[in-house]
Structure 1
Amino acid sequence: MPDTSTAIGIDIGGTNLRAARVSAAGEILERVSERIDRDADTAIGRIIELVRQLDRPDVTSIGIGVPGRVDARRRTVLSGGYLNLAGAALAERVEAATGKPVIIDNDCNMALVAEIAVGAGRGRENVVMFTIGTGIGGAIVQEGQILRGRGTAGQLGHITVDVHGAACVCGRRGCVETTSSGTALARHIQEAGLPADTTIDDIFRRAAKGGQAARQVLDAWAGPLRAAIDSASAAFDPDLVLLGGGLGKAAHKALLKIPALAPWYQYPVLAAELGDDAGVIGAAVCALIEHRVPLPPPALAMPAAPNLLERSA
């Protein structure tokens, strides 16, 4: 008899707070969302309320994807961005209020788990993912396990692409986040003298018609990203590189005109498939895995998938 357990996945985004009840097959059964609040206490209260709206007898656990640096083993948020939950005891407070076991992890890790479970990374054991949005996040799976290092490995947005480049929020200079994020794209558009309301689709249309300013914007935006992908590929030798986040598909399209820099780094680069659903699906799948709910083969073709969140002894 198939397992009918479900979990609630929560994705804390820069604009929206999303939650969904998800089956062991990675199917979203119910969903709710609302605007995010910058105040940590208010945001946690709203997370608890969303969980209560979705809670059903078959819900076994809760997974929460958090932007920033997260120590998943200790369930601790170390740093954040728009909503900073560092030191807020997020997992403990949601657990106490709902009576359900809670796991937390970086939101990009959650998204990559979803793509491997039911998205563009199905059947792959070694995947690198860049998420392109307001900033740039990243996640790495090697041999079916999230690469954590001492706890927070996978910060691919902070691969250096220009040692003399712009200052980054991390304290260094020339991180790919400073050149190839959504924020950087807006700056490239401004520097090219194009209208402030120019969208990435406008840029593609202008470039297709031979517009030099638009072509320069795409080169300035996607060129450093290609270098970062090549660096990550040299370091991790992945089966596949995925581009997710709100600008993932656009970045993939832009990179079609910017090939890998050397023959050694010819790795498949694909756009992620799940869009805004990746975070909630991945968070729920991780919660189910953590609590040893068996996932059916159609959901996770990768045999090593139950090790994705395996904790060290």
Structure 2
Amino acid sequence: MPDTSTAIGVDIGGTNLRAARVSGAGDILERVSERIDRDANNAIGRIIELVRQLDRPDVTAIGIGVPGRVDARRRTVLSGGYLNLAGAALAERVEAATGKPVIIDNDCNMALVAEIAAGAGRGRENVVMFTIGTGIGGAIVQEGQILRGRGTAGQLGHITVDVKGAACVCGRRGCVETTSSGTALARHIQEAGLPADTSIDDILRRAAKGNAVARQVLDAWAGPLRAAIDSASAAFDPDLVLLGGGLGKAAFKALQKVPALAPWYQYPVLSAALGDDAGVIGAAVCALIEHRTPLPPSALVPAELTVLERPA
């Protein structure tokens, strides 16, 4: 008899809180969402409420993707962004309120697992992913395993592209997040003298028609990102590089005019396929893997994909 277990995936975004009940094959069965609350205590309460709305007898576990630095093995948030859950007993509170086992991880790790399970990285075992949004996140899968280092590896937004560049929130200068994030794009647009409401689609259209100012904005935004991709490719030798997040597709288009900087680093670069669904799908799939729920072959998750190895 086929296993029909499902899991609930939660994705904490910069604007919205999303949750979904997901099958082992990565299909979203139900979903709910609402605007995020910046207060950590209130946000955890809302996560619990969304999970309760989706909870069904076949739900075996809950996965939560958190922006910022997360020690997934110890289920601890070390630093956050728009919603700072550092030090909050997120997993423990949701677990106590729902009676279901909970895992947490960096949201980019969750998204990359989803892309490998059911998206643009399907069937690949060595993938690097940059997520382009308000900031820049990252995740790395090597030989089917999420690369963690001591606990929080994969902070690709903090690859240095200009040692004398703008100050970054991490305390260093010239991280690619300072040049190629959504926040940086808005700054490039302002510095070019364009209206603040100029969209990236407007910039892409103008650049395609030969507009020099638009081309300048794209070079300033996408050029450093190309350098960061080349550096990550040199370090990890991936099968491909994925660009996700709200600006992932736009960044992919912009990079078509910014070639790799050296012939050694001609790696395939693709736009992520799952959009805003990647976070909830990945969080649910990770929860099912961690709690050893058998996944059907259609899930296409590499058998050796190690999501968490929680210490005793």
- Give the shorter-chain TM-score range: over 0.9
Displacement after TM superposition at 1:205 (Å): 1.1
Displacement after TM superposition at 1:208 (Å): 1.3
1:76–1:32 Cα change, 3 Å:
same
Gaps of 5+ in 1: none
Displacement after TM superposition at 1:160 (Å): 0.1
Displacement after TM superposition at 1:308 (Å): 3.3
Q: Is the 8 A contact 2:6 2:22 kept in 1?
A: yes
1:80-119 C-alpha deviation (Å, 9 max, x unpaired): 0110001111000000000000000000000000000000
1:164-201 C-alpha deviation (Å, 9 max, x unpaired): 00000000000000000000000000111111110000
Q: Is the 8 A contact 1:125 1:304 kept in 2?
A: no
1:28–1:185 Cα change, 3 Å:
same
Q: Is the 8 A contact 1:25 1:295 kept in 2?
A: yes
Q: Is the 8 A contact 2:77 2:87 kept in 1?
A: yes
Q: Is the 8 A contact 1:145 1:310 kept in 2?
A: no
| Worse overlay, 151-160 or 287-296 | 287-296
Displacement after TM superposition at 1:305 (Å): 4.5
Classify the secondary structure of the residue corresponding to 1:7: strand
Displacement after TM superposition at 1:209 (Å): 1.4
1:267–1:311 Cα change, 3 Å:
farther
Alignment of 1:1-313 (within 5 A): 1-300=1-300, 302-311=301-310
1:131-161 C-alpha deviation (Å, 9 max, x unpaired): 0000000000001000000000000000000
Counterparts of 2:87 and 2:69, CA distance in 1: 12
1:227-265 C-alpha deviation (Å, 9 max, x unpaired): 000000000000010000000000000000111111110
Displacement after TM superposition at 1:294 (Å): 1.4
Classify the secondary structure of the residue corresponding to 2:62: strand
Q: Is the 8 A contact 2:74 2:311 kept in 1?
A: no
Q: Is the 8 A contact 1:222 1:255 kept in 2?
A: yes
Please give the TM-score of this superposition, normalised by the length of structure 1: 0.98
Displacement after TM superposition at 1:10 (Å): 0.1
Total equivalences in the alignment:
312
Counterparts of 1:133 and 1:127, CA distance in 2: 19
Q: Is the 8 A contact 2:74 2:310 kept in 1?
A: no
Q: Is the 8 A contact 1:131 1:248 kept in 2?
A: yes
CA RMSD of aligned residues (A): 1.0
Displacement after TM superposition at 1:299 (Å): 1.4
1:293–1:306 Cα change, 3 Å:
farther
Displacement after TM superposition at 1:296 (Å): 1.6
Q: Is the 8 A contact 2:73 2:309 kept in 1?
A: no
Q: Is the 8 A contact 1:145 1:309 kept in 2?
A: no
Counterparts of 2:7 and 2:42, CA distance in 1: 23
Q: Is the 8 A contact 2:110 2:279 kept in 1?
A: yes
| Worse overlay, 6-15 or 291-300 | 291-300
* Identity among equivalent pairs (%): 92
Classify the secondary structure of the residue corresponding to 1:307: coil
Gaps of 5+ in 2: none
Q: Is the 8 A contact 1:135 1:182 kept in 2?
A: yes
Please give the TM-score of this superposition, normalised by the length of structure 2: 0.98
Displacement after TM superposition at 1:309 (Å): 3.0
1:36–1:305 Cα change, 3 Å:
farther
Displacement after TM superposition at 1:280 (Å): 0.2
Displacement after TM superposition at 1:304 (Å): 3.1
Q: Is the 8 A contact 1:63 1:286 kept in 2?
A: yes
